[in-house]
Amino acid sequence: MKLTRNCFLVLIFCCVASQANSENNSLIQNVPGRAPQSLNGKWNYIIDPYETGYYDYRYKPFDEMKNPGNGAFFLDRKPKDKTDLIEYSFDDSPTLWVPGDWNSQDEKLLYYEGTIWYRRLFDYKKTVTDNRVYVHFGAVNYESDIYLNGKKLGKHIGGFTPFNYEITDLLKESGNSLVVKVDNKRKKESVPTLNTDWWNYGGITRDVSLVEVTKTFIQDYKIQLKKGFDNEITGFVQLNEGKAQQVVSINIPELKITIIARTDSTGKAIFSGKLKKIDLWSPENPKLYTVEVLCGENFVTDKIGFRTIETRGTDILLNGKSIFLRGICIHEENALRGGRAYSAQDAQMLLNSAKELNCNYVRLAHYPHSEYMVRLADEMGILVWEEDPVYWTIQWENPATLANAMQQLTDVISRDKNRACVIFWSMANETPVSDARNEFLKKLAVHARLLDDTRLISAALENHTNPNNPNEKIVEDPFADYVDIVNFNQYIGWYDGTPEKCDKVNWIIKYNKPVMISEFGGSALQGKHGDAQTRFTEEYQEDLYARTLNMLSKIPQFRGVTPWILYDFRSPKRVLPKIQDGWNRKGVIGQNGTKKKAFFVLKKFYDQMEVKYK
Ligand code: GCU
């Protein structure tokens, strides 16, 4: 069989996805709803910049050897006796908190990019002998090799999406050794690639847990309104095994409905059911229903909202009603702690601040944030944009890079497809137009629509200045034909001129689609004051916000905006002493949690838009 380019792509795609052992390690839906046992806490760690614990002196990986010997850290060995040479010891090594990035936990690791080994010992007694057990990671940045009791479970690439491995056959009742090699080195072929304007936090950055399930269990399900219908539920239930004719049922007690379906030979049951009356989810009424999914002894309960989202001409319709998206961009960081956000409390802090701005929408930039964030947005009634970390200039022509971007997109859609708050899948941010780039993004968009046809597709598209008229900005991007909403970033008044330029600029946007501005803004050091012409003062930023919102409001298709950004955030690209000091200062809230003057300009504008679209 001659391998065509597409066969080759599929081949790579499968490799990246299934580098684990033969068990079914597809993502388990709704791990929080399965009474997981947490492995969070203090883990011993070993810094290993030369990857001494992974490669022998001939640079051969130990985990590919029949007898790797005493140099292989994943074996977590201890000297048998005083003559035995072992040159590492997790027991005697310091600890790091998991979940958490390593950079903010130890001054000497602030700028560290490379390999760190983590080890966690745990006991586990199954509740039912016949049950299966999985280890689940919320996310590990960036590349991770996972081992249990000296056996390799798999390798995961991508820093912002979950993964799990079955460990049933390797598990002991006590003294299990879980070893994770984490490497956050930036690489050209990676997604994201070498250059980003955010801190490359490394580590086991989200929860780690053990999930015990029955031998045959409900691995995945999707339960949402049928596209274009507000009175019909549709979806699937996927078992972990290809067992046919298994009866599954979906119960929504509050709606007094039970839908019964049978699995096919792949263990998948497709279903749909009519609804009499349903309370649709919206920011004003974030109604979540308790939904029970059952198959034999196995059941899982979830909280799911139902809403419709679509575009009609230049309008965005939520439950059939035109909406203006009052948003803000958020990085997954707790600025007050100066580290990766990872907990329900961090999510609460960030979304509370967005609510104080009177937002009904947030752009989670530039990568998938934690499940806590998305589930809390569901509860709080905040609409969400989720993004594949295809940022700036990645390797468009590298099939492995495409497979990687596809996998991360697949995983975030898989994890969050039941969240009513999520209305956007974004393919990319500020990527330069080229044939290879267009092809790459098209493939992602087609893939996303295949996985989920109920949500809107977008990206932060390109725009340019009319070469004959500096005050004319044109939004023109070949990829705009593949998106539902035209989003673009613009920095008039910061990277492009000064704020008064906003008063003169005219936007040419020839798309009969809703238009949103996915970023605008300027930096201000909180507490630095002066006249509105002085950069980095709160007055400059305040003036820039006022003039920009006025400029954007002249765009007829203008249906939403997410200024850059809610909080100041760490970036190694920001080096201006006494002003930036390793922080991007474009937040409307400072590093210390204090609101800047621009915060109130934006809130006032949102209060007006709320009334206008009531
Ligand atoms: C870009 C980019 C952001 C960046 C911002 C900035 O548009 O998307 O990631 O932080 O501009 O320059 O502050």
Q: DSSP state, 572? A: T
- Cβ distance 247 to 260 under 8 Å? yes
User: Ligand 1 pocket, 519 CB below 6 A?
Assistant: yes
- Cβ distance 546 to 554 under 8 Å? no
- Beta-bridge partners for 547: none
Which residue's CA is the nearest one to ligand 1's atom 10?
197
pLDDT above 50 for 158? yes
Which atom in ligand 1 lies closest to the alpha carbon of residue 489? 7
Which residue's CA is the nearest one to ligand 1's atom 4?
197
Which residue's CA is the nearest one to ligand 1's atom 3?
197
Pocket test residue of 364, 487, 519 for ligand 1, highest count of atoms within 8 A of CB = 519
> If you measure from the C-alpha of residue 598 to the centroid of ligand 1, how many angstroms do you get, rounded to a whole number?
18
Closest C-alpha to 150, from 183, 115, 119: 119
Does residue 541 sit in helix, strand or coil? helix
Which residue's CA is the nearest one to ligand 1's atom 9?
197
Q: What pLDDT does 25 receive?
A: 86
pLDDT tens for each residue of 377-404: 999 999 999 999 999 999 999 999 999 9
CA 125 to the chain's CA centroid: 33
Residue 552 host element (H or E): helix 538-552
- Cβ distance 117 to 48 under 8 Å? yes
- Cβ distance 67 to 81 under 8 Å? no
pLDDT tens for each residue of 274-315: 988 899 999 999 999 999 999 999 999 999 999 999 999 999
User: Ligand 1 pocket, 263 CB below 6 A?
Assistant: no
User: Ligand 1 pocket, 489 CB below 6 A?
Assistant: yes
CA angle 250, 256, 259 (to 5 degrees): 30
DSSP string, 18-50: T-S-SS--PPPS-GGGG-PEE--EEEEEEE-TT
From CA 74, how far away is CA 610, in angstroms rounded? 55
> If you measure from the C-alpha of residue 452 to the centroid of ligand 1, how many angstroms do you get, rounded to a whole number?
28
Query: What are the tokens at 405?
Result: 């971007």
Q: What pLDDT does 23 receive?
A: 61
Q: What pLDDT does 4 receive?
A: 45
pLDDT tens for each residue of 339-379: 999 999 999 999 999 999 999 999 999 999 999 999 999 99
User: Ligand 1 pocket, 564 CB below 6 A?
Assistant: yes
From CA 209, how far away is CA 363, in angstroms rounded? 28
- Determine whether 67 is exposed, middle or buried from the number of CB atoms within 10 Å of its CB (0-12, 13-18, 19+): exposed
Which atom in ligand 1 lies closest to the alpha carbon of residue 429? 8
User: Ligand 1 pocket, 463 CB below 6 A?
Assistant: no
Q: What mean pLDDT is predicted for residues 604-610? A: 98
> If you measure from the C-alpha of residue 364 to the centroid of ligand 1, how many angstroms do you get, rounded to a whole number?
13
From CA 209, how far away is CA 178, in angstroms rounded? 12
Q: DSSP state, 80? A: S
Closest C-alpha to 293, from 391, 221, 188: 221
> If you measure from the C-alpha of residue 595 to the centroid of ligand 1, how many angstroms do you get, rounded to a whole number?
20
Q: What mean pLDDT is predicted for residues 55-79? A: 97
User: Ligand 1 pocket, 568 CB below 6 A?
Assistant: no
Which residue's CA is the nearest one to ligand 1's atom 12?
197
pTM: 0.95
User: Ligand 1 pocket, 586 CB below 6 A?
Assistant: yes
Q: What mean pLDDT is predicted for residues 590-608? A: 98
> If you measure from the C-alpha of residue 430 to the centroid of ligand 1, how many angstroms do you get, rounded to a whole number?
9
Amino acid at 163: F
Rg (CA), the chain: 25
pLDDT tens for each residue of 465-505: 999 999 999 999 999 999 999 999 999 999 999 999 999 99
Q: What pLDDT does 276 receive?
A: 83
- Cβ distance 378 to 286 under 8 Å? yes
Q: How many helices (H) and strands (E) does the chain have?
A: 7, 36
> If you measure from the C-alpha of residue 459 to the centroid of ligand 1, how many angstroms do you get, rounded to a whole number?
14
Within 8 A by CB and 6+ apart from 135, the residues are 39, 146, 148, 153, 164, 165, 167, 178, 208, 209, 210, 211
From CA 455, how far away is CA 448, in angstroms rounded? 9
> If you measure from the C-alpha of residue 197 to the centroid of ligand 1, how many angstroms do you get, rounded to a whole number?
6
Pocket test residue of 193, 195, 197 for ligand 1, highest count of atoms within 8 A of CB = 197
Within 8 A by CB and 6+ apart from 256, the residues are none
Which atom in ligand 1 lies closest to the alpha carbon of residue 391? 8
- Beta-bridge partners for 224: 234
pLDDT tens for each residue of 93-151: 999 999 999 999 999 999 999 999 999 999 999 999 999 999 999 999 999 999 999 99
Phi-psi region of 319 (alpha: psi -120 to 50; beta: other; left: phi over 0): left
Pocket test residue of 564, 565, 566 for ligand 1, highest count of atoms within 8 A of CB = 564
Q: What mean pLDDT is predicted for residues 566-592? A: 98
pLDDT above 80 for 15? no
Amino acid at 223: I
User: Ligand 1 pocket, 197 CB below 6 A?
Assistant: yes
pLDDT above 90 for 507? yes
pLDDT above 70 for 11? no
Which residue's CA is the nearest one to ligand 1's atom 2?
197
Closest C-alpha to 227, from 313, 310, 312, 316: 310
Q: What pLDDT does 2 receive?
A: 43
Q: What pLDDT does 21 receive?
A: 45
pLDDT confidence tier of residue 3, bands split at 50, 70 and 90 = very low
Three-state SS annotation for 386-419? EECCCECCCCCCCHHHHHHHHHHHHHHHHHHCCC
> If you measure from the C-alpha of residue 489 to the centroid of ligand 1, how many angstroms do you get, rounded to a whole number?
9
> If you measure from the C-alpha of residue 331 to the centroid of ligand 1, how many angstroms do you get, rounded to a whole number?
11
From CA 596, how far away is CA 587, in angstroms rounded? 8
Neighbours of 498 (CB within 10 A): 17
Which atom in ligand 1 lies closest to the alpha carbon of residue 495? 12
Q: What pLDDT does 24 receive?
A: 76
